């Protein structure tokens, strides 16, 4: 990832949205993430190439760039300068972040100018969140969000907030509170992410499709209620592929012919 993107990679009339991973390293050690593996090695983008990258994206007529991938972009010193370079070229920016560190004024300014911001937050149970994602304090996330919204108002901007939860057996019971607190804090889109199993990652979190009997029935009921609650509140709810499909595969293996639908 440290190699520059060549013009040949980008010179196509079909590039509209670019996904650019500034880093594959992370400041957290989530219990279900491969980053906790002792053999994991990440990479960082060389920010000295920022202007060249922005120019290449401009040549490719990129309209929007997401400056995040598997890692946490905001741990790279000067990441906000990348946003400034894209904005000077008329390219909109979005990000996925854990919002776990208190941001500087310059970082808040960069976030406030974005089109949308996805925050990785699995639960609003402060103790559970800290245990699962480690080094995370719910209060810091909410404080950063408030500062971004305040700065965006001053700039006459309005970035859309999306809360993303990696759905597991540990967080299912708190989904209603997760949705409600997000709405109270200006979140307009919610996403349930599909939990993936990685070799060598013995996390305690389980995919909801591994549950049996009454526990699986409870999950189905919670998801149904969550969808209804989101619809009533006028917010969007996205459920990633693999969640409902996994539940239905488990139901079929248990002899249940009626599929679960949302």
pLDDT band at 40 (very low <50, low <70, confident <90, very high): confident
User: Which CATH number characterizes residue 91's domain?
Assistant: 3.20.20.70
Encoded tokens for 163: 């809360």
Encoded tokens for 85: 């370079």
Q: DSSP secondary structure string, 112-155?
A: HTSSEEEEE---S-HHHHHHHHSS--HHHHHHHHHHHHHHHHHT
- Section 37-58 average pLDDT: 84
Handedness of CA 3, 7, 8, 12 (dihedral sign): positive
Domain membership flag for residue 257: no
User: CA 132, 191, 141, 127: dihedral to nearest 10 degrees?
Assistant: -30
Domain membership flag for residue 127: yes
**Looking at residue 16, what is its pLDDT?**
82
Domain membership flag for residue 2: no
Domain membership flag for residue 164: yes
Q: DSSP secondary structure string, 70-111?
A: SS-GGGSTTHHHHHHHHHHTT-EEEEEE---SPPPHHHHHHH
Domain membership flag for residue 173: yes
pLDDT band at 160 (very low <50, low <70, confident <90, very high): very high
Domain membership flag for residue 184: yes
For 57-67, b/e burial (b = at least 16 CB within 10 A) is bbebebebbbb
**Contacts with 165 (C-beta within 8 Å, 6 or more apart), sequence order:** 121, 122, 123, 171, 175, 178, 190, 191, 192, 193
The structural domain count of the chain equals 1
- Section 156-164 average pLDDT: 96
Write out the residue range of the structural domain in which residue 126 sits: 7-201
pLDDT band at 184 (very low <50, low <70, confident <90, very high): very high
- Section 236-253 average pLDDT: 94
Domain membership flag for residue 240: no
| Predicted confidence (pLDDT) at residue 48 exceeds the cutoff of 70 | yes
């Amino acid at each position: 990832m440290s190699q520059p993107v060549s013009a040949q990679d980008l010179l196509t009339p079909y590039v509209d949205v670019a996904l650019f991973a500034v880093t594959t390293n992370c400041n957290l050690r989530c219990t279900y993430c491969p980053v906790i593996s002792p053999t994991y090695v990440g990479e960082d983008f060389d920010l000295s190439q920022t202007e060249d990258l922005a120019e290449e994206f401009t040549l490719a007529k990129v309209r929007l760039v997401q400056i995040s991938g598997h890692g946490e972009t905001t741990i790279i010193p000067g990441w906000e300068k990348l946003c400034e370079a894209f904005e000077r070229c008329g390219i909109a920016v979005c990000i996925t972040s854990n919002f776990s560190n208190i941001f500087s004024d310059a970082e808040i300014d960069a976030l406030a100018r974005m089109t949308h911001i996805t925050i990785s937050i699995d639960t609003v149970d402060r103790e559970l969140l800290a245990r699962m994602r480690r080094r995370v304090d719910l209060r810091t996330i909410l404080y950063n969000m408030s500062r971004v919204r305040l700065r965006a108002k001053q700039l006459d901007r309005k970035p859309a907030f999306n809360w993303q939860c990696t759905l597991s057996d540990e967080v299912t019971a708190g989904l209603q509170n997760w949705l409600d607190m997000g709405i109270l804090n200006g979140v307009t889109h919610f996403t349930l992410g599909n939990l993936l199993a990685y070799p060598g990652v013995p996390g305690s979190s389980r995919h909801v499709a591994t549950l049996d009997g009454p526990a699986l029935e409870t999950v189905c009921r919670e998801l149904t209620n969550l969808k209804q609650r989101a619809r009533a509140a006028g917010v969007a709810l996205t459920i990633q592929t693999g969640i409902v499909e996994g539940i239905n595969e488990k139901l079929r293996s248990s002899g249940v012919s009626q599929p679960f639908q949302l």
